[in-house]
Amino acid sequence: MWSRAAVLGRETTLMVSPSALRRVQHHLEAHLVPHAVGEHDVQSLVDKEAQEQVQARARLMSTKSLQSNATFDTYMRYDEIQAYLKQLEADYPNLVQLQSIGKSYEGRDMTVIRVSLNGGQSPRAVLVDAGIHAREWIAPATAVYLINQLVEHTAAHRNLLDGMDWYILPLVNPDGYEYSQTKDRFWRKNRGAPRDSWLAWFWNMLCERGADVNRNFGFHWMEAGASTYPCAETFAGSKAFSEVESQNLRDFVLAQNADGRFKMYLTLHSYGPMILYPYGYDYRVTPAPDTQELKSIAEEANAAMVAAGSVPFTVENSAELYPAAGGSDDWAKGVGGIAKSYTIELHGGGRNGFDLPASQIWDSVTQTFEGLKVFGVRAKSL
C-alpha cells in the first residue's frame, strides 16, 4: 500500500503484482469500490529512474562535480552526502559544525549539521530531518538543498540565521537509504534485526529484516497504524525505541532541547504533496491547543511554494490522512518539547509515487525551499 486513507471517499494507492491484479480487481468490483489502474508497469519507471541516475552520475563524474559537492541532477548516495557535509565544515568553520548523534544499525554515522552565526548560542533553533523512510529519496535531497542555501548562500538568507540556529539531519535511516539505492527501490524500513539471535534467524527466513523507524517513537506507540508483524512495512519494532536510529534522534533532541531552544521540528517525507501537523496517533483525539496556529503557518508555507511554481500542498492534521502512532512528529511535540512539529510530504513521481525522476529534483527542492523559509521565519517569532 503506497498511500492510505482514514476516511471514506478518499483515494488510496496500491501496488500489486501482475499475477494478483485480476484477483484484486474482482475483490474491488465485488464490493463496488471504484478503481482504475494508474500505472501498468512500475518496474519500467524504476528502470528509467536507474538509467537517469547512471547517466547523470557519469556526467558529474566526468567533471568531478560529485567530489565533495552537492548535486541536484541525481540522487546523492550516503557517502557523497557525508563528503559534502565534511567539506562544508572545512570551508566554513565559523558557520558549520558536524556532530554524529550515533551510529545506525549497520554502523553508519547519523550526522547532524549545525548552521549558526554565533557558535550555536542563538536563543532559538529549528530541527530538520529527512530520510526516515528509505525509499523517499527526494526528502534527503531537499535537506541537502536547504543546507546548501543556508551555508553557501548565507548572505541571501541571513534573515533565517540571525538569532536562530539550524540543525539538519539529512539521513535518519542511512542503512535503509543505501539498501533502496542498491537492492530494493521501494524499501521503507531500516535494516535492523531482532536482538534475539533465534528470532533474527526465524524472521530472516520469512522476510527481509527491518522496522519502520517512524512507528518506533515512544509516544502512544502501537496504538494505531502500526504492525506487530516483522514482515509488515509498518512493523513498529519489538518495543518503543527498540531501533538505534530512533534512540539516537531521541537522545539528541532531549539533550539539545533541555532549555527549550527548539521552536520547530520539520521532518521531510514523500510522497504527497501534503503538510501534516500533530497529533496523528488517533483521529478521535482532542486537537492540540495550538492547532489553528499550526494550520496557519502551514498554509502560509504552502502559499509560498505555490507562488514558486509548486502544485498546492494539502494542509491537514496527520490523523485525517490516516492514524499512525509512534511517529517522530508526534513524539517531538508530545515528549520532545518542540511546540511546532510538521511532517512535510514532498512531491511524488510518475502518477504519484516514491520514484520522483532525477530530472525533477531541482524543481522540487527549489520550490520546497520557499516553504521552508516561511517555517524558518515563523520559528523566529515563537
Predicted local distance difference test score (pLDDT) of residue 272: 83
Q: Does some domain include residue 231?
A: yes
Predicted local distance difference test score (pLDDT) of residue 38: 60
- Sign of the four-CA dihedral 346, 350, 352, 355: negative
The CA distance from 250 to 127, in Å, is 12
Strand, coil or helix: what is 235?
strand
CATH number at residue 308: 3.40.630.10
Domain that holds residue 324: 75-381
Is the distance from CB of 325 to CB of 248 less than 8 angstroms? Answer: no
Pick the catalytic residue from 178, 243, 245, 345. Answer: 345
Q: Does some domain include residue 124?
A: yes
> Is 11 among the residues known to form the active site?
no
Q: Does some domain include residue 292?
A: yes
Predicted local distance difference test score (pLDDT) of residue 208: 81
Predicted local distance difference test score (pLDDT) of residue 31: 62
Q: Does some domain include residue 345?
A: yes
Q: Does some domain include residue 32?
A: no
Q: Does some domain include residue 98?
A: yes
Predicted local distance difference test score (pLDDT) of residue 6: 46
Say how many domains are in the chain.
1
Predicted local distance difference test score (pLDDT) of residue 255: 98
Where the chain has pLDDT below 50, the residues are 5-7
Is the distance from CB of 332 to CB of 340 less than 8 angstroms? Answer: no
Predicted local distance difference test score (pLDDT) of residue 284: 83
Peptide bond into 279 cis (omega under 30): yes
* Residue 365: count of CB within 10 angstroms of its CB: 22
Predicted local distance difference test score (pLDDT) of residue 264: 99
